[in-house]
Amino acid sequence: MRGLSGLGTVAVAALVCACAGDSTATSDGGMAGAGGAAGTAGAGGAAGTAGAGGIGGIGGDAGSGGEAGAGGHAGAGGEAGGGGGGGGANEVFLSAGLWHSCVMGASGTVSCWGDTIYGQSMVPAGEYTQVSCGNLHTCAIDVDDTVVCWGSYFTANLPEGAFDLVRCGYNYNTCGIRSDGAVECWGRDNFGELHPPTDLKAMDIDVGFRHSCAIKLDGLPVCWGGSNWDGERSAPDDVRLDAITLGGAFSCGLDLEGAVVCWGNAPAPPTGAFVQLSAGYSHVCGRRADQTVQCWGANPFGQTDAPEAEFVDVAAGYNHTCGVTTGGTVECWGYDEYGQATPP
């Protein structure tokens, strides 16, 4: 049995540029559409000036969750917190879930590690453009823009057609954004997570433990599902966001200036601007323009103790966090009993 905390590293082959995996990234000063290029964009991503390091589409939850709770993944970023649709051979996506983590290399190959009791770390052969870790399942989008999922039995009956973005939740549910911006959700529906507002079109989305949120094409956030006991569903109606990520009982996003905006039972965020944000169950990590990572919130396993390094991607899991360094190495820290913080 592995220790309860640890720091693991693995090299990502042929790292060309990084995009938020199960985490949400802005383009260092621009809004990106799901699956789109950096810059101000709607669903599908109108062209714009790419951010530093060529960071593209918005990611969503890299958070993590489980039977007892869920992460954010949680997107803003990479659930999270993985990635902004559109993938391709030049992007790397990182995602962290409950007890497993995954990374997609520049070649489109996905590698996962950690718990695989339901096969959530056993990746089907193929070439992918993004990946997202949930509780006990994993989903990805292949080069044909088709959703592929593996792990728990809630991966059956997948929707057909093309998707730009997919985000796994932590109550065995998943949501995605189609190429026209339409939102579709599937899986378990105990708390209304599968019922977004009618005719919703979005440019970013994330799925938490019992609630889901998206950013509409006008930049305003909207949430559904869950009990809303902590206000996690009560999105502000007076702030426009570039990215969104969900924790266990809270939601956070990045506004147009890169400041962190949260609602629900969220840990108090630091001041200043970020270019990427990813929520775990009770912690959040953000990446600044200088590529340093800062984490805050609950820290019983060291999940907020980010190494002093430069990162091009970060993804918060349930009680652990992983990041891709500028040198192309994956480093993880926090809870590691199932090897989720020890890349192969």
The residue to which tokens 């939102």 are assigned: 183
To the nearest whole percent, how much of the chain has pLDDT over 70?
74
Residue 128 has which token pair? 């992918």
Three-state SS for 96? strand
Find the mean pLDDT for residues 137-152. 96
The pTM is what? 0.79
What is the band of 23 on the pLDDT scale with cuts at 50, 70, 90? low
Distance CA 149, CA 209 (A): 18
What pLDDT, in 10s, does the model give residues 179-237? 999 999 999 998 999 999 999 999 999 999 999 999 999 999 999 999 999 999 999 99
> What is the pLDDT averaged over residues 19-26?
48
Strand pairing category for 260-264 and 147-151? unpaired
Average pLDDT over every residue of 243-256: 98
Among residues 318, 71, 321, the alpha carbon closest in space to that of 209 is found at 71
DSSP 132-197: EE-SSEEEEEETTS-EEEEESGGG-SPPPS-EEEEEE-SSSEEEEEETTSBEEEEE--SSSTT-PP
pLDDT at position 155, please?
80
Mean pLDDT of the chain: 81
Q: Which two tokens stand for residue 247?
A: 């924790």
Give the span between the Cα atoms of 90 and 322, in whole angstroms.
20
Name the residue among 307, 326, 275 with its Cα closest to residue 92.
326
Q: pLDDT tens digits for 151-188?
A: 997 787 899 999 999 999 988 899 999 999 999 999 99
Work out the number of other CB atoms within 10 angstroms of the CB of residue 292. Answer: 14
Q: Name the residue with higher pLDDT: 65 or 295.
A: 295
CA distances to 9, 172, 194, 201, 225 from 197, rounded to whole Å, are 41, 20, 10, 9, 10
User: What average pLDDT does the segment 240-255 reach?
Assistant: 98
Encoded tokens for 97: 């879930």
Q: Which amino acid is at 11?
A: A
Query: Of how many residues is the chain composed?
Result: 344
> What band does 12 get if pLDDT is binned at 50, 70 and 90?
low
Instruction: Give CA–CA dist 62/77, Å, rounded.
Output: 6
